[in-house]
Amino acid sequence: MQIISIALTIAFAIIAVFHVLWAVGYKLDIRNMVPVVNGEPVFTPGPVGTVLVSIVLCGFAGVSLGLGFPDSVPVNYLPFLKIVGIAIGVILLIRAIGDFKYAGFFKRIKGSNFAKYDSLLYSPFCLISGGALLYLATNLT
Q: What is the pLDDT along the chain (141 residues), one digit of tens a residue?
A: 999 999 999 999 999 999 999 999 888 787 888 998 988 889 989 999 999 999 999 999 999 999 999 999 999 999 999 999 999 999 999 999 999 999 999 999 999 999 999 999 999 999 999 999 999 999 997
Residues sharing a CB contact under 8 Å with residue 69, sequence separation 6 or more, in sequence order: 2, 5
> 37 lies in a domain?
no
Supply the range of the domain harboring residue 113.
2-31+44-138
Question: What is this structure's pTM?
Answer: 0.93
Residue 112: Cβ within 10 Å count: 22
> 77 lies in a domain?
yes
> 65 lies in a domain?
yes
- Torsion angle of alpha carbons 89, 8, 19, 83, nearest 10°? 30
Helix (H) or strand (E) holding 131: helix 123-138
- Cβ distance 86 to 94 under 8 Å? no
> 96 lies in a domain?
yes
> 36 lies in a domain?
no
What pLDDT score does 31 carry? 80
Q: Which residues pair with 131 in a beta bridge?
A: none
> 19 lies in a domain?
yes
> 57 lies in a domain?
yes
> 38 lies in a domain?
no
User: Structural domain tally of the chain?
Assistant: 1
Q: Residue 13 corresponds to which amino acid?
A: A
Q: Residue 9 corresponds to which amino acid?
A: T
